[in-house]
Structure 1
Amino acid sequence: MRISLAGLVHSRAVHDGRFGCRVLHPGREARFSTSEGDARQPPIPSLPPLAGPEVVAPANAKLSEALDHAFAEAESGPRRFTKAVVVLHRGRVVGERYAAGITPATPLIGWSMTKSVTNALLGILVRQGKLDMQKPAPIAEWSAAPEDPRRVITPDQLLRMVSGIRCGQSLQTGFTTLFDADTQMEFDMADQSAFAGNARLRAAPGTEWRYTNCNFVLLSRLIRDAAGGDAKSARSFIERELFAPLGFEHATLEYDSAGAPLGTIHLWASARDWARFGLLYLQDGVTESGQRLLPEGWVDYSARLTPLSADEYGYGAGFWTQRGNSAAARQRIAAGFPADSFMAIGSQGQYTIVIPSHDLVIVKLGWAYTPHDDHVAVERLVRETIAALARSG
């Protein structure tokens, strides 16, 4: 596919089989899928499907009303364009709904929910003894000079968005973000991690919280390098160690032209796949078959509040969290989120919400243009789902 902007800027993208879609850059046109079998053969899930091919009807009338509200549109906009909602209670689907043209098998973009999947891949490396989150991150650009102040940055600081690197911001979107460094990296850089690795510091590591995709691009490079150093070994690792054990059936993670997985905003998966991902965290990093994927304590580490985010956001380590005493968490709790809950969030209203106290995972996906990623509708969905399931026992 080719596009241009006013005839001045041109871009070309290709579909590269199981590596997804990628913007091509001069000198970086190589495909990673080298054969038809490599392009089409999906990983074999190790778990049976969450449910049959048909849509699971809500367990009761109140849950059906909650799903009605999640799909409801205001007469005059802005519109939320909800695509899918899945409710997983006690390990089984108790209700789901899809927009026209969407099915339980339709891959949907997670945007920044992908960052939470990167959290899982880092946890797997920690469990395997291949990564220490508290030691300096092995970033080549930071190791060249002994006096480089970036040498002390840890994977934990990257994951918690407190690295201090000067690399734009990825939390708000608008006209001005067209000129942001993060946007330049996403759309104009063949090797995104090299761009992020060459960013200087804007604050001492560990002293400022700033949400930037550059942190997760660098974490994605660590995953690629630990898996073998190229796109094929990274894809094999991700599918073998995470997607197949979780029973993912319809997931594709995309890659940049340097072969690094784009663990920032580029995972496509069905709503049921996202629900299974939430279930992994609900079950303390253990799959339904009893296989431990994440180290003991990793889920609590992930949901633990990063203090520097407490004033406005309530961010943990790759997840947003109601735990701790952040202003944002207090507001969400007042709106109906249980205090032990945490969630993966993506732009335009992508949510995978984990609620241990109710043995519950709620997934909501769409293309919302409502304010603040449709959070008011999601708060209502959480409140009404908990109440509906309490009524049914």
Structure 2
Amino acid sequence: MPSRPTLRYALLAALVLTLAALGFVAHSVASTANAVAAKTLCSDVFLSRRTPQAVIEQDLRPDNPLAPLQRFSVETASASVSLLGLWTRRAIHRPGLSCTLLNGVTEAALRAQPLPEPAPPPQPETPLPPSNIDGILQMAFEEPGGAHALRTRAVVVMRDGQFIAERYAPGFHRDMPLLSWSMAKSITNALLALRTANGALDIRRPAAVPEWASASDPRHAITPEQLLRMSSGLAFRETRTALPADALNMLFRQPDAGAYAADMPLEAAPGTQWQYSSGTTNILSRLLRDTFHGDLQAYWNFPRQALFDPIGARHMMLEVDPSGTFVGSSFAYATARDWARLGQLFLDDGMVQGRRLLPEGWTRFATTPAPAAPHGSYGAHVWLNRGSENERQWPLLPDDTYSFQGYEGQLVIIVPTYHLVMVRMGLTRTGATWDPNRYLPSILAALE
């Protein structure tokens, strides 16, 4: 039996370790929460042109138990958030790049980076005439009551390549870019298609990832196609509600999102296991950057020049991490109309105004189920409405329906059978679901 002094020291050591662990967790949670808020505040103020008060009251305080303790600040070209004056996190705004968190890098270092070529200011969009589905769109903004709000902010419907109806919540409008979250993955998909078309990238050859360069590394065989199909086998944890939360760590605490994801070990043979992973998208974003061989400005200009301008998505923008790589998994801003235009590009198999933009057959490739995906529900960075009626996400919609989806209820729904694209943007958090099955079948019926 240990002596009393020995037992006392053991208990004291255990207490110290426990307190240290609790302190680490507190630091991690507070730092991440402040980073999420700082990044949101910065982008929504300087890019979406919302007032700081509106962003704080409508986005940062609801459903946030830490909000009463957080302090929010907006400066000339930055935003910062602290918790009781501690764990301050800051994001800075740069023209053409929007906002970037200061993760392991100084503001001076970021501001020393070259900027993309300035884009001409987008022209205001023309309002639409009244439509016979305006009443259905109004229903899509109704709140069901109860503890959880849907907070729909924009709904747009496009048919046969033409906008036919739209509606916006008070304080939001057709020229306001909004955060995509994981709908950004569809942009990464299209950019990779463009680089594949011009021969800069081969998605079926092993990915040229520095961390996997050795032929003896089991990750060496992973291909960009397997990354696109979320079947890389990498041990990346997407969850936001439990530790380890790799996605949150990658997006809000790391200087290089692609490098962080590429460091993950292999837990399954490539191509044999499906697991949704924002990390794989940021590996693809870094692969895309590497095809420009160090020309950072050419890389930054590429999305606008090669994709956004040709489809008329003049408000669309990808944001970068501190290393300069697009956060292609999560940080895109665009208007609801811009998202509809991207959906229409896929619906038209990469054609826009008679010009081929994406490789012929790319949409068929993107909507082919990943072999390892359950019920064929996922293609190449695209969600599919496949499987039996009981297995489909939206059983009331045709099985050729596919979609781009993002956190908090961001949706681009593409229904080839009806030549239709529908976009919904909002702030629907855990506990509530904005369900297209309640609205889209009525819209389709009204258009027949």
Match of 1:156 in 2: 225
Structure 2: gaps (5+ residues): 1-78
Matched, 1:295 2:376: no
Q: Which has the higher contact order (CA 8 A, sep 6+)?
A: 1
Match of 2:185 in 1: 115
Match of 2:322 in 1: 257
Q: Which of 288, 292, 300 matches 1:235?
A: 300
Q: Structure 1, residues 45-94: CA drift from partner, whole Å, max 9, x if none?
A: 8xxx8x9432x24421xx12220221010232411110100000111111
1:207 shift after superposition? 1.5
Matched, 1:146 2:215: yes
Equivalenced residue count is 369
User: Secondary structure of 1:141's partner?
Assistant: helix
1:369 shift after superposition? 2.8
The within-5 A match list for 1:76-95 is 76-95=146-165
Q: Distance in 2 between matches of 1:134 and 1:372?
A: 39
Q: Distance in 1 between matches of 2:171 and 2:161?
A: 26
1:276–1:89 CA distance, 2 compared to 1 (3 A): same
Match of 1:167 in 2: 236
Matched, 1:317 2:389: no
Matched, 1:59 2:134: no
Q: Distance in 1 between matches of 2:236 and 2:413?
A: 28
User: Secondary structure of 2:360's partner?
Assistant: coil
- 1:310·1:328 contact (CA, 8 Å) conserved in 2? no
The within-5 A match list for 1:163-202 is 163-169=232-238, 172-174=239-241, 176=242, 179-202=244-267
Match of 2:342 in 1: 277
> Could you say which structure has the larger radius of gyration?
2
Q: Which amino acid aligns with 1:340?
A: D
Q: Which of 138, 154, 164 matches 1:68?
A: 138
Match of 1:31 in 2: 110
1:257 shift after superposition? 1.0
1:102 shift after superposition? 1.0
Q: Which amino acid aligns with 2:168?
A: Y
Q: Distance in 2 between matches of 1:152 and 1:372?
A: 40
Q: Structure 1, residues 2-40: CA drift from partner, whole Å, max 9, x if none?
A: 2224555332110111111111134453236868xx579
Q: Structure 1, residues 133-181: CA drift from partner, whole Å, max 9, x if none?
A: 11100101100x2210000000011011110111212xx533x25x412
Q: Which amino acid aligns with 1:358?
A: Y
1:41 shift after superposition? 2.9
- 2:385·2:393 contact (CA, 8 Å) conserved in 1? no
1:58–1:301 CA distance, 2 compared to 1 (3 A): farther
- State the TM-score, normalized to the length of structure 1: 0.88
Q: Which amino acid aligns with 2:204?
A: Q
State the percentage of identical aligned residues: 38
1:33–1:214 CA distance, 2 compared to 1 (3 A): same
Match of 1:41 in 2: 118
1:185–1:34 CA distance, 2 compared to 1 (3 A): closer
User: Secondary structure of 2:441's partner?
Assistant: helix
User: Secondary structure of 2:260's partner?
Assistant: helix
Match of 1:268 in 2: 333
Q: Distance in 2 between matches of 1:368 and 1:32?
A: 34
1:295 shift after superposition? 0.7
Match of 1:342 in 2: 402
1:373 shift after superposition? 4.5
1:317–1:32 CA distance, 2 compared to 1 (3 A): farther
User: Secondary structure of 1:184's partner?
Assistant: helix
Match of 2:415 in 1: 355
User: Secondary structure of 1:304's partner?
Assistant: coil
Match of 1:205 in 2: 270
- 1:57·1:96 contact (CA, 8 Å) conserved in 2? no
Q: Distance in 2 between matches of 1:306 and 1:327?
A: 19
- 2:116·2:300 contact (CA, 8 Å) conserved in 1? no
1:243 shift after superposition? 0.8
Q: Which amino acid aligns with 1:23?
A: L
1:267 shift after superposition? 0.4
User: Secondary structure of 1:343's partner?
Assistant: strand
